[in-house]
Every structure is written in structure tokens, then in C-alpha cells.
Amino acid sequence: MTTLRYPEVRDRARLLEVARLGVDVDEPREYLTELVEEVAARMGTPLAMVTGLLSDAQVFLAGRGPVPEWVTEVGGTPIEWAFCGPLLRSEEARYVNDFTADAEFQDNPLVTRDGVRSYIGAPVISSRGLVLGSVCGLDLCPREFDAAHLQLVQDLADETARRIESHAFPDEYA
Amino acid sequence: MARIENYGHELPTEQDAVKALADLVGPQMAEGLWSLAVQALGMRRPVVDPAALRRVAEHVMEVGELSRVAGRSLKVRIITYEALARTVSS
């Protein structure tokens, strides 16, 4: 296994939080569907998803758009392919206008194989302050995003965190 | 006053704990998990003190949770490899 670019992904407290909230569990999450639809609609991106960052993989908790069939089968990708790695460190929404011009991601298989060109994403952070994953929009062409887009995707990520926690512990949020 | 019998109000012993675990994962796995958990916490068997038993129980829980996360990660990586290999060979 290759050296992790973001070793924070294996932080024990973070992974226990991932497990506590069931982020790693492979199950349908209809309560997140409208959020990915809103990302796609408001960002104008054909692809939108909610990701969970595990120890060596990212998993897709919800998604929409022309996802390659094999990605649907897998339900995620190796962690090295995750565009949201930087969010573990910055804990702030960010975007990439054109992956082919980005030194960190230009060789990413999702770029070279599957043609993903641009991205906007925000961290999903639990109430205990730990990054669970991300909400993101992806496009197959270069895109410009602005501060309003960043705020919007962060708001959606915050709502995603609330829904994940209330689904895991409904009595606490009743 | 009604007598309370068999309602689990006695302190579980280490033997109880390992047996309960064995009922779920088999005797070898249970012994191994319990012993490794005790060792990881810097303790020795038999674990008798309630606070110590609780620490071991919580450690076993954490190991289970982290194992589940690691297992799912591994599964994703394996299926990715298989899917990509099919793509190359087709």
C-alpha cells in the first residue's frame, strides 16, 4: 500500500466517530438524496455525492449523475483517489477549476480514466468536530466557482452532518 | 418482596465475558480477542476488577468498530482492483 498523502485519514478518534455514526455501513441513505440533488442543481454539476472517508477507502453515501458502472459496483474508491483528502487538513470548502492543471490530482484515475475535470466540495464535520467525509459536485469540464458556491456547499455539508447524526441517534435529535 | 433471580444483576466474570464472545465468534477468536485486548491495555488475566473488566469491554468494542471500518475499506480496494482488471482485459 502506498504512503498516505493525508495520514490524518487514519486518526483513531476520527475512525471511531465514523464507526459510531455508521458512515462505513453499506446501506441506502434516502435521507441524503435531496441534498445531492440540490448540490447538482445549485452548482450546475452533473455529478454530486456525499462521501465517507474510511481508513483506506472513500465510500459513497449518496450520489447522482453519470457515475461509471464499476464505481457503482464498488460503492467507493481507494482513498488515494479521493478529491476530498485536503478537506481533512483544512476543514474548509474548496474547489478545483481544472484537475488537468492541478499538480496534486492531474494523475488521479478519476481524471485520466473517467474524465472528471472540476470539483467543489466541503467537509462533513460531526458535532464532535471530526471530519466524516464530504459533500461535493463534480463536472466533466473546467468550471469557475465563487465564494457563494463555497458557502452553499458548506451549508449543505453541515446539513448532511446533522442528518447523519440524527439518523444514527434519532432519540437525541427528536 | 419478590425475589430477583437470573436478571443479570451479578457482576460478569472474565469467564462469562469470554464465553459470551465465543458464542458469537467462536472460542478461538474469543480467547484471542480477549487476551490481546487485555494485553493491549497493559493488564494481565484474569481480569477481576469491575473497572478493569469495563475497560477491556470497551477496548473490544473499539477493536470491533475499527475492524469494521478497515474491512469495508479493504473490500472497496479489492473490488476496485477486480473491476479495473476486467476493464483492462476486455
ipTM of the complex: 0.91
Specify if B81 maps to a domain.
yes
Q: Tell me the CATH number at A152.
A: 3.30.450.40
The reply to whether B5 falls in a domain is no
Could you read off the pLDDT of B15-72 as tens digits, one per residue?
A: 999 999 999 999 999 999 999 999 999 999 999 999 999 999 999 999 999 999 999 9
Question: Nearest C-alpha of chain A: how many angstroms from B68?
Answer: 8
- Spell out which residues of chain B touch residue A79, defining contact as CB-CB under 8 Å: 73
Among chain B residues, the shortest Cα distance to A76 is held by B76
What is the reported pLDDT for A4? 81
Residues 6+ apart with CB under 8 A from A4: A10, A79, A80
Its domain, for residue B48, covers: 14-89
The single residue listed with the C-alpha cell 477507502 is A57
Contact A26 B62 (CB under 8 A): no
Grid coordinates belonging to A18: 465514523
Report yes or no on B30 lying in a domain: yes
Domain count, chain B: 1
* Model pTM score: 0.91
Q: Count other Cβ atoms within 10 Å, centred on residue A54.
A: 28
Residue A95: inside a domain: yes
Residue A173, domain member (yes or no): no
For residue B61, the tally of other CB atoms under 10 A from its CB is 13
Let me know if residue B34 belongs to a domain. yes
Domain range for A84: 7-167
CB contacts < 8 A (A, B):
63
CB neighbourhood size of A27 (10 A)? 6
Residue-level length of chain A: 174
